[in-house]
Amino acid sequence: MHATTSPADDGGEPSPITVRALASVVPDAVCTGNAVVRRLSHDSRDVRGGDLFFALPGTHHDGHRFLDDAHRRGAVAAVVDHFVDLPVAQVLVPSVRRAIGPMAAAFYRHPADRMGMVGVTGTNGKTTVCSILRQCLEVAVVRAGQIGTVGSFFGTRALPATLTTPEATDLQRTLSQMAAGGTQVVAMEASSHGLDQHRVDGITFDIGVFTNLSREHLDHHGSMEGYFAAKASLLESHRCRFAVIGTDDEWGRRLAGTVAIPSRTVGRHRCSDVMITGVEDRGLGGIDVHLDGAFGPMRLRSPLIGAFNASNVATAYTAARHLGLDHEAAANGIAGAGPAPGRFELVDGGQPFLVVVDYAHTPDALGVALEAVRALATPLTGRVSLVLGARGGRDRGKRPLTGAVAATGADRVVLTADNPGDEPVSSTISDLWDGIPASDRDRVAVLPDRRSAIEHAISHASPGDVVLVVGRGHETTFRIGADVVALDDRAVAWEAARRWKAELCG
């Protein structure tokens, strides 16, 4: 593990550097003019005097359209894929996307090289694995940081998240702050978008973790093969030194058979290097995970709820051991590692039934979450109610699949909105509805307003039931068209549960 920091790096912007010096890290870059760069930006609205602006191509807009605005705001230079008529220094590159990572890393003096780096990719489990690993390291008195969906954490600092994997300029700035603060190891989520869009270029990971793969983001990647290729790119030899690969699905087993770097496999599959041989589900008390293989037979005790977390526990343990922690330190860390925000998080308003808020937003993740809450409901009499929506503008093909899983796993379903963005709520709900068999639709209520949907599910619950609210987890804002409103599923659920108890007690 690397532990050195640069005395000159105080966590703010680094010392100014010339455009030509930054351009030298990109093959085939051509410079016109030169300037001293004091800061980097990829968003023209964020530009300040002395900035180098990256004209990134976007899903809906090309960053070159905003060069005039960036110049007016004080940009002294721009990275472009074609020269423009502006009185600023310009760096012409074959791809701005491919240039931003290495140039940002160079501007911040390669902070990742001064720390141990663990990148975690996969459809499900990224946040939980990073959270467990960070807590394991902290128990072992290793200064650890975390970057991902729920934010960035290091020392006493917590920064809000905008993307699961931040854009390269933001990512390298955060890594610079972490290194300056004495962080020794960073556990970060590497999303398929982040990998495909080269946000992590310029970073060499000591460990790359692949958790699993199931349908998600096909609106961006086009196919499961494209999605898999983006995820698998984390473990390429130029980007990563060692791999920890989950083998609970065919994609992980396929990756394990082709990866060119040293690796260790983890999972229930009999050929796994670290094999999960059993899971004891202690209900609300957590789980005990039994392992055998590379580290010998053992039992790990975790407070995380749900047998599905066994893979997350085993994966984090394996990564911790490869980072140099001994068994006692890693096991103690796991024993004290609670859930990440919004990941199977219990909401207690004093009600005589369980309310769980979770981030599950894929068919597979929803299926395991429903299986877990079913085990927590009172046998025979306890019912499972589900509050479910679908993100606007995302992979529409998975919505009917998600609806079908909901109808199979829940006794009652409330369909609602989930960050619809620019897509009509009625469209997202209709796609979910299409996946629910006609024979099950009498168990489904439709309440487009999400707050009302959560309140409805909780007000109709009985002792021994479980209400599961999925899709948003830790998120505290909600976008409808151009409006962003405050909405925290956990807060809404807590208020509704308190009202349920108050009405009962009269």
Helix (H, G, I), strand (E, B) or coil at 278: strand
Same domain assignment for residues 304 and 359: no
pLDDT at 249 over 70: yes
Same domain assignment for residues 320 and 394: no
Tens digit of each residue's pLDDT (9 = 90 or more) over 395-431: 888 999 999 999 999 999 999 999 898 899 999 999 9
> What is the SS3 assignment for 343-373?
CCEECCCCCCCEEEEECCCCHHHHHHHHHHH
Same domain assignment for residues 323 and 352: no
Residue 263 confidence (pLDDT): 97
Residue 160 confidence (pLDDT): 83
Same domain assignment for residues 161 and 286: yes
Residue that is last in its domain, among 335, 366, 385 = 335
Please check whether residue 387 lies inside any domain of the structure.
Answer: yes
Q: Which amino acid is located at 104 in the chain?
A: A
Buried b (16+ CB within 10 A) or exposed e, 152-187: bbbeeeeeebebbbbbbbbbbbbbbbbbbbebbbbb
Q: What is the mean pLDDT of residues 218-242?
A: 89
Please check whether residue 4 lies inside any domain of the structure.
Answer: no
Same domain assignment for residues 142 and 33: no
Same domain assignment for residues 71 and 120: no
Tens digit of each residue's pLDDT (9 = 90 or more) over 290-305: 999 999 999 999 999 9
Pairing of strands 384-388, 39-41: unpaired
Same domain assignment for residues 401 and 326: no
Residue 131 confidence (pLDDT): 95
- What gap in Å lies between CA 293 and CA 91, rounded to an integer? 52
Residue 6 confidence (pLDDT): 36
* CATH number reported for the structural domain that contains residue 51 in this entry: 3.40.1390.10
Please check whether residue 190 lies inside any domain of the structure.
Answer: yes
Provide the pLDDT confidence category of residue 371 given band limits of 50, 70 and 90.
very high
Token pair listed for 61: 């807009």
Helix (H, G, I), strand (E, B) or coil at 321: helix
pLDDT at 7 over 60: no
Provide the pLDDT confidence category of residue 215 given band limits of 50, 70 and 90.
confident
pLDDT at 9 over 70: no
Domain tally, the chain: 3
Residue that is last in its domain, among 38, 73, 99 = 99
Q: What is the mean pLDDT of residues 73-82?
A: 96
In the block, residue with structure tokens 């004891």: 280
Token pair listed for 492: 């809404």
Same domain assignment for residues 351 and 258: no
Please check whether residue 5 lies inside any domain of the structure.
Answer: no
Same domain assignment for residues 429 and 281: no
8 Å CB contact between 350 and 501: yes
Same domain assignment for residues 328 and 352: no
Please check whether residue 9 lies inside any domain of the structure.
Answer: no
Residue 285 confidence (pLDDT): 96
| Sign of the dihedral defined by the CA atoms of residues 419, 425, 427, 432, in that order | positive
- What gap in Å lies between CA 114 and CA 137, rounded to an integer? 17
Residue 222 confidence (pLDDT): 77
8 Å CB contact between 501 and 459: no
pTM, two decimal places: 0.91
Residue that is last in its domain, among 99, 128, 148 = 99
- What gap in Å lies between CA 134 and CA 146, rounded to an integer? 7
Helix (H, G, I), strand (E, B) or coil at 316: helix
Token pair listed for 497: 């549960």
Residue 218 confidence (pLDDT): 67
Phi/psi for 483 (5° steps) reads -95, 135
8 Å CB contact between 184 and 2: yes
* CATH number reported for the structural domain that contains residue 453 in this entry: 3.90.190.20
- What gap in Å lies between CA 268 and CA 261, rounded to an integer? 22
Domain membership of residue 207 as a residue range: 111-335
Q: What is the mean pLDDT of the chain?
A: 93
pLDDT at 155 over 80: yes
Tens digit of each residue's pLDDT (9 = 90 or more) over 321-351: 999 999 999 999 999 999 999 999 999 999 9
Same domain assignment for residues 366 and 315: no
Average the pLDDT over each of 34-48, 66-80, 212-226 and give the range with the smallest value.
Answer: 212-226
Helix (H, G, I), strand (E, B) or coil at 107: helix
Please check whether residue 104 lies inside any domain of the structure.
Answer: no
Provide the pLDDT confidence category of residue 368 given band limits of 50, 70 and 90.
very high
- What gap in Å lies between CA 126 and CA 253, rounded to an integer? 18
Token pair listed for 218: 């096909």
* CATH number reported for the structural domain that contains residue 190 in this entry: 3.40.1190.10
Please check whether residue 1 lies inside any domain of the structure.
Answer: no
Please check whether residue 7 lies inside any domain of the structure.
Answer: no
Of 475, 373, 485, the closest CA to residue 149 belongs to 475
Same domain assignment for residues 247 and 351: no
Share of the chain above pLDDT 70, in %: 96
Q: What is the mean pLDDT of residues 191-216?
A: 92
Of 100, 116, 108, the closest CA to residue 201 belongs to 100
The number of C-alpha atoms within 13 Å of 337 and in the hemisphere containing its C-beta is 32
Angle at 114 between CA 110 and CA 115, to 5 degrees: 120
